[in-house]
Amino acid sequence: MKPITVTLIVNGEPRTITTEPNKTLLYALRDDLGLYGAKDACGGEGECGACTVILDGEPVNSCLVLAGQADGCHVETIEGLAAGGQLHPLQRAFVETGAVQCGFCTPGAILAAKALLDRAPDPTDDQIREALSGNLCRCTGYTKMIAAVRRAAEEMSHVR
Amino acid sequence: MSADTFTVGKTEIRKDAWDKVTGAAAYVDDVALPGMAVGMVVRSPHHHARIARIDARAARDVPGVLAVITAADVPGSKTFGPLAQDRPALAVDEVRHLGEPVAIVVAESKTAARRGVKAVAVEYEPLPAVFDPTAALEPGAPQVHPGGNVVTRYDVAGGDVEAGFAQADIVLEHVFEVPRIAPGYMEPEASTAEWGADGTLTVWVSSQKPFEDRHQIASVLGLPQDAVRVRSAVIGGAFGGKEDSGLAILAALAAWAVKGTVRLVNNRHESFLAHPKRHPARLFYKLGAKRDGTLVALQATVHMDTGAYSSYGPAVGGLLTEMVPGAYRIPHVRVETLVVYTNSPFSGAMRGFGSPQAHFATESLIDMLAGELGMDPLELRRKNILRPGDRFFTGVPLDRTASSLPVILEHVAAARARLAAIPAPAGRVAGVGFALAVQSMGLGYRVPDDSTNRLEWAPDGTIRVYVGAPDLGQGLATAAEQIAAEALGIPYSDVRALAVDTALSPNGGVTCASRMTYVVGNSVMMAARQLIETLLAYAADKLSVPRAALAYRRGAVVLPSGETIPVAEFASRAADEEVPLRAEATFSFPYPEATTPKHLPVGMPHGMFVFGGQVARVEVDRDLGTVEVTNLVAIHDVGQVINRAGVEGQIEGGVATGIGYALYESVRLKDNGQWVDGFTEYLLPTAEDVPARIESVIVEVPEASGPYGVKGVGEITLVPTAPAITNAVCDATGVRVTAIPIVPEDVARAADPA
């Protein structure tokens, strides 16, 4: 397989990599860019959401996107969420609400929630549940994750 | 308790949460070591077969392949296992389940490793296979191992069950079935091993038992224990399933073979097929009662499928046996449990450890009895629950700890009334059900059940806790930090637990069995008392005053004048002198001589218990039979709370796992001969499948022997969930489900036979 060159705008910064044409965005982030926040929990089948990133504003399973398909696109990963060293309200809410246990699903869940709040700043519980429904978690039973998203939404509405 | 405590009882924030929300937390697969190679496993495509030949020549010729390892290359013991050494590290002449490791390919890249795996030629001669424990007990059944298919048989009685049934006015007999459950931790198994120039191995693991891993790795590699160092990375969940050394052994073999560094990471399918699951079981129950509802006799025969290898199956069978009568006083009980080999993927430890299986049957049958007697199932329970002074059928007496059960039952009654008042929406029928549960803590009598942990004063006066057992994500480190801070009277922020490293940490035991806060907490409190003594002896020496002249208060040494000197003054000096101020203590789980019966098999009985009850409201779609759990109230006695958010997190996560047990999950054999082995077909509950808020009611009955009154909470939280849900489905539809997970079509058909 002939390697391909791909430019991704990762957390606002253009990053050019030369990689295999069958490399997924998930493994381009992990293996080629050293960004390990996106996880593989289902074997790259789009079933668990642990690899969720925001691609041009939409939450996607990065295991289902080829790196080549994302050429020229904006990719938001968990590593870019804390702007200027300040945690995003969602990150802070996950920490303070006790929504983090083993943490393996946490980056994906936070990014799925961020994509929700980007388009629906004042979501209902059902909207939150739907937004998180692609992100499997075995530890928390989701109660505190849902509460964390609600709390972050409230905090962000005060800031606005 | 929080009014007069420093930190215990408060919801402190776990210290690893910050790294986990920024993506900085490093799990095994997130650390790339220099020169690291990739290991991939060649796995059996057969359920049962003889291996005629393995030809690895073509694989070794694949560019980038560094080594191919088979059983013939294993330098030490060919087999391993936590209880019986019945499992080969790599298959020896025979494979006994689909997905069993046959060879390891080590390569410079994933692509080369994949090609190498495809190029290993294995010639198999298929053998007949058996997948059902009852069928495996039949004469003439395929033999999974040479010694026969029965791994362990328990036959334990209390009272005289025949005499008990003779007193019964009503006898019910039913058969229950529970499925094989994947632990479902989000992080698949992963291990990196590094061969050092000095002939030692360092192995990074995602494991509940690094010290046991060290032992197993050394045995298979033929190395002395001190040549193997096992280090815990951040762990992405475990739930019992990571009480398994399998992948760490393969990583160690790979590193040894290439004299380098190799990482192995299972994909989800490999995790399903070749890592422990919760045992499926068939439970034959017979329950006798008086007309007034008094329970008089219970007899059970249980067939447990442990799969191709025993893993912790014998111990799970023992605890299942003990848990059969549930939270009830039944004078005459007899339980026969058979742990059976089959060619299924093996089962072992998983959250609940036999208790979820037993309770599904017991709590279903209690409701069925109430129906037969025309009694309210709550009244039936009220009449028969265990109370202080009662004994389990094993002979273990219950003290004050059982006083929580009647309290829990009254919370159940209140929640039930509240949820029953919620009307059903159009097209659906609603119902409310509940169940009680008991869960043991600890490993059982005559099983080593110790935990050693160490405290050390850092030069800056903060405390390092060398917890000797890993935090799996549940928050053990936080609990240990809070208890250490409380015992030393210093702020939680000044205490930090370190990850397990067998070269540096004391042996804290296996993280399991709802016992960690209790045993680690007790050990940390003992160590704290010793540490204060060590400090004061050191300070007395430095200050040239008698030891008795000094006191300790909140991170400072108090002089006779009342003046205080911060500990840092002494700790930094001691560190300079290379005599750091530290103390280590071992706590052994108590099995009191006077109250521990001696007539039972090894591992029985357990001596300490937690109790709980859960109430579920369900809505059932009349046409489809689908079940939605709309509300769930979980009431649990945890002794005393150390960290409320942590306890609630255990409850909420346990309930969600219990919902999966009732409604969705089963690792079953499909018509095409393949197992359900991925999240496409194995449905973990999502945020839309559980109530938006699982309600926790925490009952605190302090345990006298516990650190700050603590008992445990890890496992029981999923035990009553499934029967509470099936009891609710029965309340809504009249359909009694005796096999889980619920099949919606069956519910729809049974509810409306037309």
Structural domain that includes position B500:
450-588
pLDDT in tens, B418-443: 999 999 999 999 999 999 999 999 99
Question: Does A142 score more than 90 pLDDT?
Answer: yes
Helices (H), B497-585: 516-543, 567-576
**Sole residue written with tokens 């965005």:** A25
Q: Which residue from A81, A103, A140 is facing B236, i.e. has the nearest CB?
A: A103
Q: Residues B481, B492: contact at Cβ < 8 Å? A: yes
pLDDT of residue B4: 75
Mean pLDDT, residues B412-419 taken together: 98
Q: State whether B686 and A136 contact (CB < 8 Å).
A: yes
pLDDT of residue A152 exceeding 90, the answer is: yes
- Nearest CA distance, A4 vs chain B (angstrom): 16
For residue A42, the domain's CATH number is 3.10.20.30
Co-location of A99 and A149 in the same domain? yes
Tens of pLDDT, residue by residue over B246-297, are 999 999 999 999 999 999 999 999 999 999 999 999 999 999 999 999 999 9
Ramachandran angles phi, psi of B659, nearest 5°: -65, -40
> How many angstroms separate the CA atoms of A73 and A76, rounded?
10
Answer yes or no: are the C-beta atoms of B552 and B558 closer than 8 Å: yes
Distance CA B45, CA B31 (A): 31
What confidence score (pLDDT) does residue A85 get? 84
**Which of A34, A103, A138 is nearest residue B684 as measured by Cβ atoms?**
A138
For A78, the closest of B23, B184, B693 (CB atoms) is B23
- Which of A:55-114 have CB within 8 Å of B? 77-79, 81-82, 87, 91-92, 94-98, 100-107, 110
| Count of pairs with CB atoms under 8 A, one residue in A, one in B | 194
Clarify whether residues A73 and A87 are in a common domain: no
Please say whether the beta carbons of B396 and B596 come within 8 A.
yes
Inform me whether the pLDDT recorded for A41 exceeds 80: yes
Same domain, B292 and B404: yes
Domain endpoint, select from A80, A112, A141: A80
Q: Which of B27, B467, B457 is nearest to B206 (CA)?
A: B27
Structure-token pair, residue B672? 């095409």
Q: Looking at the structure, do residues B604 and B581 belong to the same domain, yes or no?
A: no
Phi, psi for residue B520 in degrees, rounded to 5: -65, -40
Query: Which tokens is B657 given?
Result: 């796992």
**Separation CA B35–CA B262 (nearest Å):** 9
Same domain, residue pair B250 and B318: no
Taking contacts as CB-CB distances below 8 angstroms, the residues of chain A near B678 are 42-43, 45, 47
DSSP B551-569: EEETTEEEPTTS-EEEHHH
Find the radius of gyration of the CA atoms of chain A.
16
The enclosing domain of B526 has a CATH number of: 3.30.365.10
Predicted confidence at residue B47, as pLDDT, reads 98
Say yes or no: B634 and B726 in one domain: yes
B114 and B254 co-located in one domain: yes
The values of phi and psi at residue B38, to 5°, are -110, 130
**Same domain, yes or no: B427 and B326:** yes
Give the distance, in angstroms, between the CA of residue B107 and the centroid of all CA atoms in the same chain.
34
- Say yes or no: B379 and B318 in one domain: yes
Amino acid at B224: P
pLDDT band at B751 (very low <50, low <70, confident <90, very high): confident
Same domain, B239 and B347: no
A101, A136, A150: best mutation site toward chain B, by most B Cβ within 10 Å? A101
Other CB atoms within 10 Å distance of the CB of residue B592 = 9
Q: Is 0.90 exceeded by the ipTM? A: yes
B480 with B386, same domain: the answer is no
Q: Where are the beta strands (DSSP E) in A40-110?
A: 52-55, 58-61, 74-76
- CA–centroid distance for A142 within its chain: 17
Residue B1 pLDDT greater than 80, yes or no: no
Return the structure tokens found at B124: 């198999």
B265, B299, B331: which is the final residue of a domain? B265
Q: For residue B288, what is the enclosing H or E element?
A: strand B281-289
CA distance B138 to B148: 11
| Mean predicted confidence (pLDDT) in B119-145 | 98
- B385 and B496 assigned to the same domain: no
Task: Kindly state the average pLDDT of the residues B390-412.
Answer: 96
B409: number of Cβ within 10 Å: 19
Reported as a single tens digit per residue, the pLDDT across B442-494 is 999 999 999 999 999 999 999 999 999 999 999 999 999 999 999 999 999 99
Q: Are residues B440 and B454 in the same domain?
A: no
Question: How many structural domains are present in chain A?
Answer: 2
A130 lies in which domain range? 83-159
Residue B296 and residue B260 share a domain:
no
Total domains in the fold of chain B:
3
**What is the average per-residue pLDDT within B46-66?**
98
Q: Which two tokens stand for residue B621?
A: 């779609």
Q: Do B648 and A98 touch (CB under 8 A)?
A: yes
Q: For B333-350, what is each residue's pLDDT tens digit? A: 999 999 999 999 999 999
Reported as a pLDDT band with limits 50, 70 and 90, residue A160 is low
Query: How do residues B366-387 score in pLDDT, each as one tens digit?
Result: 999 999 999 999 999 999 999 9
What's B295-314 look like in SS3? EEEEEEEEEEEEECCCCCHH
Buried-exposed string B684-715: b where 16+ CB fall within 10 A, e elsewhere = bbbbebbbbbbbbbbbbbebebbbbbbbbbbb
Query: What pLDDT is recorded for position B504?
Result: 98
B3 pLDDT band, cuts 50/70/90, is low
- The string of pLDDT tens digits covering residues A23-32 is 999 999 999 9
pLDDT in tens, B229-260: 999 999 999 999 999 999 999 999 999 999 99
Q: Does B163 map to a domain?
A: no
Mean residue pLDDT across chain B? 97
In a domain, B384, yes or no: yes
